[in-house]
Amino acid sequence: MALSMKQGMGMEQTLNPKMIAFYELLQRPVVELNQAIQLELEENPALEITAERLCPACGAALLTDVCRECGYRPNADEMELQKAPSELSIDPTPASKTQSYNDDDFDDPMARLAVPETLSEHLHWAWRLQAKNEDYDLGCSIIGCLTDEGYLEEGLEPLAEGLGVEVDELEKVLLQVQQLDPPGVGARDLQECLRLQLENFVSRDNEQDSEKELAALALRMVNKQWHPMTRHAYEEIARKMRLPLERIQAAADFVRLRITPYPGSQFRPEWQTKSSGDARLRPDVSISKREDGVGYEVTVRESRSLGLRINGIYRKLWDSMRHEPGTYSNKDREHVQQYLTRAREFIDNLNQRRKTLKLIIEAVAEQQGEYLEQGLHALKPLTRLSVAHELGLHESTVGRAVSGKFAQIPTGDIIPCEIFFDASLAVKEVMKEVLAEEDSRKPYSDEKIAKILEERGIVIARRTVTKYREALKILPAAQRRRYD
C-alpha cells in the first residue's frame, strides 16, 4: 500500500467564540438566562445593572429621548427623574408594559411562597408523636428509605443488614409505619399499596356502607385475584369468585377512582407537575393578537425588568487610556480592555438573542395561526427546517431557540414551544375524540381506529395508532372493555 500526500482547497464554516456564546444564551430558557446574567454580573466588573427608564405616557421601556412605542418625548424634568445612560445598554422589548408581567428580581412573588411540607417531613412528624422509644430510630430509618411516592422499593433485607437488626424486628416496625397517614405509605409494591389503602377504607366509621362493601370486595380481588385484575380480566374474576360481572366491574372502578397508586403524590410541590397551564411556569415569549386583528404580536420576556450597561468607571478609564496611553501599565490596559470587550459582547448577544427568538416565534405564529385560535385540531405540520429556510437561518438555530422554551398564547395557556412542531398532537386529539365516542362494551381495536381516522382524512398505519395510543396512556381494546 502506497502513501501519498495531497493538497486541496475547500470552505469550512467555523464558529468564533462570540457566536458560541450567543448560541449558549439562545438555548437558555428564561430562568437559566436569569442565572447566566447574574453570574456575568458577579464575574465582570465592567458590567452593571441599572433601572430602565419607562415612558411616562405608556409605560414602555424608554431607550432614547423619544418613546418608540407611542412617540412621547419626555420633558427635561421627566428626563432628569429617570436619567440613566442608554449607551451600550441592553435593548429591552419596547412592547413590554409594566403591568403585563412582573418579573422583578427584587420583588419576586415566588420568593414569598411558603415552602411545602415533604412526605418525609410529614411522616417523621407523625412518627415522633406515636412511636415507642425502642422503635423510634428503626422507624426513622424506614421513613428515610421511602421514595417520594411512599414506596419502600429496596425491601427490608438490605436495610436490616445495614442496621444490624433482624428482618422480623424491622417488619414489626414497618407495620406501624404503614399505619401512618397517608394510607399506603411503606408499601413494597403496588399490590401491598392498594391493600393498605383498602383496609384503611373498610375500617373507617364515617364511610357509607355501600362504598365499604365495594372496598371490601376490591380488597378480596387484590388479595386473591391480583394477576387477573392487572390484566383487566374481569370475566375470569367473576367466574372464580362466582359474582355478577357488573359487581366486579364496580369494585374495579372503585379502585380506579378512590385509590391512588402514589400515596405520596399529595406532598409533591405544585411546580413539579407537567400541566401546560400551570401559572407558575414563566413563559419566555408571549403571543397576542394585534390590535388591528391581523397577525400576531410576539413579546420576548426578559429575565429581569432592569437593563444592563457598561460600567461608567471602566468606560472613563478606557477613554483615558486611549488619550494618555503612557499613564497606565500594560496589565491595567489588558484588564480594562478584556472586561469591556466581554461586557459589550454579552450585551450584544442578549440583544441578538431577543431579536432571533422574536423573529422565529413570529414566523411560527404566522404559520400556526389557526392552532392559536382553534386549538390542537388545527395544528399544521411544521418543521424547524422549513422555518429556518424561510428566515435564512440554520436549522440548529431554530432548534436552539425553541428547545426548552414556553410561550403564552392568546388563550392565556402556557405551552412548550416544541408543540408548534409536533403535528402528531392534532392526530392524537382526534384519536381521543374517536375513543370518547366508542361503545365501552365493544371498544375499538387499533385497526378500527386507523380506519375511522382514514374516513376523517387522516391516513396513518395501525402501528402508528398503537404508538399514539400508548403515548396517550390509553389501554388496549381488551382492557378498555366494560361490562356494566
CATH number at residue 437: 1.10.10.60
Residue-wise pLDDT for 213-238, tens only, equals: 999 999 999 999 999 988 888 889 99
> Is residue 449 included in any domain, yes or no?
yes
Q: Are 355 and 25 in contact (CB under 8 A)?
A: no
Partners of 219 in the beta sheet?
A: none
Q: What is the pLDDT of residue 358?
A: 92
**Three cell numbers, residue 472:** 396517550
Both 187 and 289 in one domain: the answer is no
Task: Quickly list DSSP for 190-203.
Answer: HHHHHHHHHHHHHH
Both 403 and 455 in one domain: the answer is no
> Is residue 273 included in any domain, yes or no?
no
Q: How many domains does the structure of the chain reveal?
A: 3
Distances (CA, A) of 426 to 55, 183, 372: 43, 39, 13
Q: What is the pLDDT of residue 165?
A: 85
> Is residue 438 included in any domain, yes or no?
yes
Both 295 and 399 in one domain: the answer is yes
Q: Are 366 and 352 in contact (CB under 8 A)?
A: no
Q: Are 197 and 150 in contact (CB under 8 A)?
A: no
Does pTM surpass 0.85?
A: no
C-alpha 440/C-alpha 252 separation (Å) is 15
Both 138 and 255 in one domain: the answer is yes
Distances (CA, A) of 157 to 17, 127, 172, 357: 55, 22, 13, 54
> Is residue 186 included in any domain, yes or no?
yes
Both 447 and 338 in one domain: the answer is no
Both 318 and 448 in one domain: the answer is no
Both 147 and 212 in one domain: the answer is yes
Q: Domain containing 348: what range? A: 17-52+89-112+285-375+386-416
> Is residue 237 included in any domain, yes or no?
yes
φ, ψ of residue 297 to 5 degrees: the values are: -100, 130
Q: What is the pLDDT of residue 115?
A: 52
* Residue 57 predicted with pLDDT over 60: no
Cis peptide before 182 (omega within 30 of 0): yes
> Is residue 380 included in any domain, yes or no?
no
Both 233 and 289 in one domain: the answer is no
Q: Are 327 and 372 in contact (CB under 8 A)?
A: no
Q: Which residues contact 18 (CB under 8 A, 6 or more apart)?
A: 345, 348, 349
* Residue 163 predicted with pLDDT over 80: yes
Q: Which residues contact 457 (CB under 8 A, 6 or more apart)?
A: none
C-alpha 247/C-alpha 217 separation (Å) is 9
> Is residue 276 included in any domain, yes or no?
no
* Residue 240 predicted with pLDDT over 70: yes
- Cα distance between the two ends of the chain: 79
Both 108 and 125 in one domain: the answer is no
What secondary structure letter does DSSP report for 266?
Answer: G
Both 255 and 135 in one domain: the answer is yes
Helix axes 133-144, 119-130, angle to 10 degrees: 170
Residue-wise pLDDT for 403-459, tens only, equals: 889 999 888 888 899 888 887 787 888 888 888 888 888 888 888 888 888 888 788
Percent of the chain surpassing pLDDT 70:
79
C-alpha 148/C-alpha 42 separation (Å) is 36
